[in-house]
């Protein structure tokens, strides 16, 4: 499921970005630092819009909900998890048709810009594979101690949940303090996602940007026991609203 699928009925500010040809990855990163992110209207429409939700979705890194069934699935090691091995396949999966969605916000400018961010080491993927076939995954942008989740998908049941659990473990492992999901869906809420208002988000964002975090901290593929340990982390990571 995309992190932006089934958008809730919430207020958000939209700024039209008319000159896509003038966009650079530096402009994209500056937008994230200021609380906005780009989004297309449709796969066949090359325009982009800057979005800034009034209520921001996040998953507190000390508040991820690991269900018993997901814990069992991770322990079974049914899937192989890879990091940054096939960006094009992941973004294609995120843009693929699915029930209840006519089109996708991932258009050509999004694909091109985030491919460039990936090549610069500022965009990352968490991939879930089975029998050497991609089963699900996600991608997002890394700045300082913040990770901005862009989209996730599943070709197989619960594959995106496994990817998200591994993402949370990796962010805790690498010293991050903010996992921004941008919008909050029922799917994300069931895994510990919450909404915070814009002013609280901006303060949290500035604190995270001031940190240094390492998405690729070794070991790159965390052992299962470590993943389960890290997703249950309850120390104060800076994302708690308590």
Any idea what the CATH number is for the domain that residue 52 is in? Answer: 3.40.630.70
Length of the chain: 242
Q: Is residue 238 part of a domain?
A: no
- Structural domain of 215: 12-231
Counting the structural domains of the chain, the total is 1
Q: What is the 3-state secondary structure (H, E, C) of 72-87?
A: HHHHHCCCEEEECCCH
In a domain, 7, yes or no: no
Q: Kindly state whether residue 3 falls inside one of the protein's structural domains.
A: no
* Residue 202 counted as domain residue: yes
| 239 in any annotated domain | no
CA 24 to centroid of chain Cα atoms:
21
Low-confidence ranges of the chain (pLDDT < 70): 1-21, 98-103, 233-242
132 assigned to some structural domain? yes
Q: What percent of the chain shows pLDDT beyond 90?
A: 73
**Could you give phi then psi for residue 191, rounded to 5 degrees?**
-110, 15
**Interval 84-115: pLDDT, tens:** 999 999 999 999 876 554 457 899 999 999 99
Q: In the chain, count of helices (H) and strands (E)?
A: 8, 10
pLDDT (0 to 100) of residue 70:
96
Q: Could you tell me if residue 5 is inside a domain?
A: no
| Predicted pLDDT at 236 | 37
3 state DSSP class of 156: coil
As given in the structure block, the two tokens for residue 236 are 């104060």
């Amino acid at each position: 499921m995309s992190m932006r699928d089934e958008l809730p009925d919430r207020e958000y500010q939209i700024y039209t970005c008319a000159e896509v040809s003038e966009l650079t990855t530096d402009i994209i990163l500056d937008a994230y630092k200021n609380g906005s992110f780009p989004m297309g209207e449709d796969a066949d429409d090359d325009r982009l819009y800057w979005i800034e939700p009034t209520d921001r979705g996040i998953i507190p890194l000390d508040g991820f909900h690991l269900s018993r069934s997901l814990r069992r699935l991770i322990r079974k090691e049914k899937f192989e998890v890879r990091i940054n091995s096939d960006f094009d396949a992941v973004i294609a999966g995120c843009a693929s048709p699915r029930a209840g969605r006519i089109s996708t916000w991932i258009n050509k400018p999004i694909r091109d810009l985030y491919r460039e961010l990936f090549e610069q080491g500022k965009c990352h993927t968490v991939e879930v594979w089975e029998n050497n076939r991609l089963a699900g995954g996600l991608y997002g942008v890394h700045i300082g101690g913040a990770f901005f989740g862009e989209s996730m998908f599943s070709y197989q049941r619960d594959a995106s949940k496994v990817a998200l659990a591994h993402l949370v473990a990796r962010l805790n492992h690498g010293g991050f303090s903010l996992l921004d999901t941008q919008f909050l869906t029922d799917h994300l809420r069931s895994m510990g996602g919450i909404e915070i208002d814009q002013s609280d988000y901006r303060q949290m964002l500035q604190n995270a940007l001031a940190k240094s975090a390492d998405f690729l901290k070794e070991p790159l593929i965390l052992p299962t026991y470590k993943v389960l340990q890290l997703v249950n982390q309850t120390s104060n990571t800076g994302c708690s609203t308590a």
